[in-house]
Amino acid sequence: MNAATVTATTPDKDWWRGAVIYQIYPRSYQDSNGDGIGDLRGITARLPHVAALGADAIWISPFFTSPMKDFGYDVANYIDVDPMFGSLGDFDMLMAEAHRLGIKVMIDLVISHTSDQHPWFVESRSSRINARSDWYVWSDPKPDGTPPNNWLSIFGGSAWAWDPTRMQYYLHNFLTSQPDLNLHNPQVQEAVLDVVRFWLKRGVDGFRLDTINFYFHDRHLRDNPPLAPERRNAATAPAVNPYNFQEHIYDKNQPENLEFLKRFRAVLEEFPAIAAVGEVGDSQFGLEIVGQYTSGGDKMQMCYAFEFLSPDPLTPSLVANTQQAFERAAPEGWACWAFSNHDVVRHVSRWGAEVVDRDAFAKLTAAILLTQRGSVCLYQGEELGLTEAVLSYEDLQDPYGKEFWPEFKGRDGCRTPMVWDSHSHQSGFSSAEKPWLPIPVEHHLRSVSEQQGHDGSVLEQYRRFLTFRKQHEALIKGEIVFHTVSEALLVYERRLGNQAVLCAFNLSAQSQDLVLPQGVWQALDGHGFVAETAGDRVNLPAWGAYFASNDL
């Protein structure tokens, strides 16, 4: 067998390193049957959009059987598709079409907890002596009848719910209808790994692991200590949530998780070229945990924390400090960065609320994200420059938003339906009279049909920049070296082998002058930004960028 044959037939086990992963929230992507809710057939029909964008993979948020109390993140059957989204056959067709287009498919696994309607929990709560009695986290009350400790739920209130049949409390880090699995039990681990094998045998290319650091709890159920007010950070939970008042050292982030992740990785290695990215839901120890979970080559290929998903404004120092902190915490690891997802305010609104030229801001932030060291997740609609939707309380679906309204308005504002054709009913998302969430008027004007083919649009800039990125391997897998980090200017190099790509950004509404670092720099084109140059000086317009190469 010659080298060419090996290259053509051997899967690239490293495909995930530097990949651009496009997140699809299935309820809101494309409705194929007119019920107002997106589905798998709808995703399949819209995959050419993902291919045209230039993404390497898709991550599909949960589509498993579920009572939808948390919209799929409460799983009642891990190995079937909820009828709302279609069938296993529909999923197989989606997989086939994605692979035909050269797109990898990653699915969202939620294994820290299940729905209370999952048969495992139904059996577990039926008595204290059944075969699955220890599959969830059960505890007797304190002598006065109160919960066993002070742990809090991210969705508000105690993390313990009383069950009158067992006369015990069960742990739920999220909704009371989302009981936590007891992964200290080897049988639970085996059951979860069987789920992993089921989907790998079906052909998926990888997984996004929801709340990966919540898998294990402290066996002794010790109280979390209080957190000093100055250390309370709203990245894990909204600022109005008392969850931020504790140091979460016992209810999650347990050392036993490292061994389980090795077992998980071993299952992935049974199949060719599989990758997983873990969501580390922790604002206190996020990068430290990412470092642990991605070290050694025997756990997660990549993880992401919340540094770029928090309310903190995007500044040159935030970018530099985050990358440098990651390098210290995870010298062997690989990050997966995102600016938006289904749980946070869309970044164009979160960071750009005061920006006059939102399109220019959207283009600049895309270029910054797509030149970071690490892989990248783009969230559906981000490529259109969609803003956070402002919804009335009557339109809310998210239980999180209902709990903390109006100080925190929940996650529905970033989950409104995708807009495809401004001249079609419901912008081409659905033929239903009323979709599951309303589409804001301003989104209709930013549809794919309105932007496609218009050179100055946000959509065409995303497509252009993704093409530019693929032309320079240093932007995909290279190291990152910072040069200028000021109030407005952010300048760094991406280096790989003998290639260096200089990336310079102006994060302000005023033009900025920049002196290039030492070296012979050749300006690059094809990225969609324009800057004036004179020798070693560059004038960056407001929200502008400049790129150059240097063969080392």
Token pair of 182, please?
């007891």
**DSSP β-bridge partners for residue 304:** 279
Q: Which of 31, 210, 388, 412 is catalytic?
A: 210
Element (H, E) at 449: helix 448-451
Pairing of strands 64-65, 499-506: unpaired
270 is annotated as an active-site residue: yes
Calculate ∠ Cα 442-448-449, nearest 5°.
100
Q: In terms of DSSP bridges, do strands 206-209 and 275-279 run parallel, antiparallel, or are they unpaired?
A: parallel
Cα 226 from Cα 214, distance rounded (Å): 19
> DSSP E strands: which ranges in 181-340?
206-209, 275-279, 302-304, 336-338
Distance CA 297, CA 363 (A): 35
CA dihedral over 12, 14, 19, 21, signed as positive or negative: positive
d(CA 462, CA 186): 45
**Rounded CA separation 552/545 (Å):** 22
Please give the Cα distance from 364 to 116 (Å, whole number). 44
Pick the catalytic residue from 270, 357, 479, 513: 270
| CA dihedral angle for residue 15, residue 17, residue 20, residue 22, rounded to 10 degrees | 80
Per-residue DSSP letter, 519 = S
In this structure, what DSSP letter does residue 513 have? E
Tell me the sheet residues that pair with 546. 504
Q: Please say if 35 is a catalytic residue.
A: no
Question: What SS3 state is found at 44?
Answer: helix
In whole angstroms, give the CA distance from residue 292 to residue 304. Answer: 12
Give yes or no for a contact between 542 and 549, defined as CB atoms under 8 angstroms apart: no
From 537, 547, 393, 359, select the one nearest 461 (Cα to Cα): 359
Tell me the sheet residues that pair with 24. Answer: 60
Four-CA torsion 324, 328, 333, 339, nearest 10 degrees: -30
Give the N- to C-terminal CA distance of the chain in Å, as an integer: 35
Q: What are phi and psi of 128, to 5 degrees?
A: -95, 0
In sequence order, which residues have a C-beta less than 8 Å from that of residue 130 and are 6 or more positions away? 123, 124
- Please calculate the CA angle 156-157-163 and round it to the nearest 5 degrees: 120
Q: Which of 389, 410, 524 is nearest to 468 (CA)?
A: 524
Which residues contact residue 535 at a Cβ distance below 8 angstroms, ignoring those fewer than 6 apart?
none
What six digits make up the tokens of 61? 């948020």
State the Cα–Cα distance between residues 319 and 19, nearest whole angstrom. 19
Q: Among all residues, which ones are annotated catalytic?
A: 210, 270
